[in-house]
Amino acid sequence: MSQQLYSNLAIFVLSLLVGFEVMSKIPATLQTPMMSGANAIHGVVVVGAFVVAAEANNWGFYILAFLCAFFAAVNVAGGYTVTDRMLGMFDRPKGGKAPAKDNKQDGGEQ
């Protein structure tokens, strides 16, 4: 194997380790913004699949480019759906008013 392959492999392994450490340290309150950022990154993957498709010169590369574009597009759509559902948990109920507080649980009188 060439020296450049070793260098690229080392960079890839180090990026995996750093990515794992960064992701494991993110608190739950930041998961939604992080998910939105990940969706933007997967949009870049779709563009990369299109670039690979433009450079393809045989059927194997055409099929690979199609699969890459398909799975990246499914990942983007699914990510936005999950983010939308997560953000929907913070919406107020229909009618515009917050739910009435139940005084029985607080020990208050009715």
Read off the pTM: 0.53
pLDDT exceeds 90 at position 14:
yes
Nearest Cα neighbor of 54 from 46, 64, 65 is 65
Residue 49, number of CB atoms within 10 A of its CB: 20
* pLDDT score, position 95: 67
- Helices (H), ranges, 3-109: 3-24, 31-55, 59-88, 103-106
For residue 104 the two structure tokens come to 């029985």
* pLDDT given for residue 103 in this prediction: 56
Domain regions of the chain by residue span: 29-88
Confidence of residue 104 (pLDDT cuts 50, 70, 90): low
Report whether 103 contacts 110 (CB < 8 A): yes
